[in-house]
Amino acid sequence: MVAVDIGESRNLADLLEQLTDRLVVDVDEVIVQNLIADHENALRSHELLAEGVGIGD
């Protein structure tokens, strides 16, 4: 498991690619877990995640 603080959504796709390139095996998916108690902040985090990997509006 790797813990990372991304900072900005535009960095996310590059960071995920770097992380998966370091692994010995092929990567089909990445699971992201965030521990955010506040619903609005959690929703915003998911929106930024979607934006960072190029899905969503």
pLDDT in tens, 13-43: 787 778 778 777 777 877 888 888 999 988 9
Q: Is residue 40 part of a domain?
A: yes
Residue 27 CB partners (closer than 8 Å, separation 6+) = 20
pLDDT of residue 2 exceeding 60: no
Q: Is the pLDDT of residue 8 over 70?
A: no
Q: Are 1 and 42 in contact (CB under 8 A)?
A: no
Does residue 29 sit within a domain?
yes
Place of tokens 């902040």: 41
b/e 15-51 (16+ beta carbons within 10 angstroms → b): ebeeeeeeeeeeeeeeeeeeeeeeeeeeeebeebbeb
Domain with 43 in it: 10-15+25-57
Q: Say which amino acid occupies 17.
A: E
| Residue 46 falls inside a structural domain | yes
Any domain includes 20: no
What's the number of domains the chain is made of?
1
- Is there a domain that residue 44 lies in? yes
Inside any domain, residue 1: no
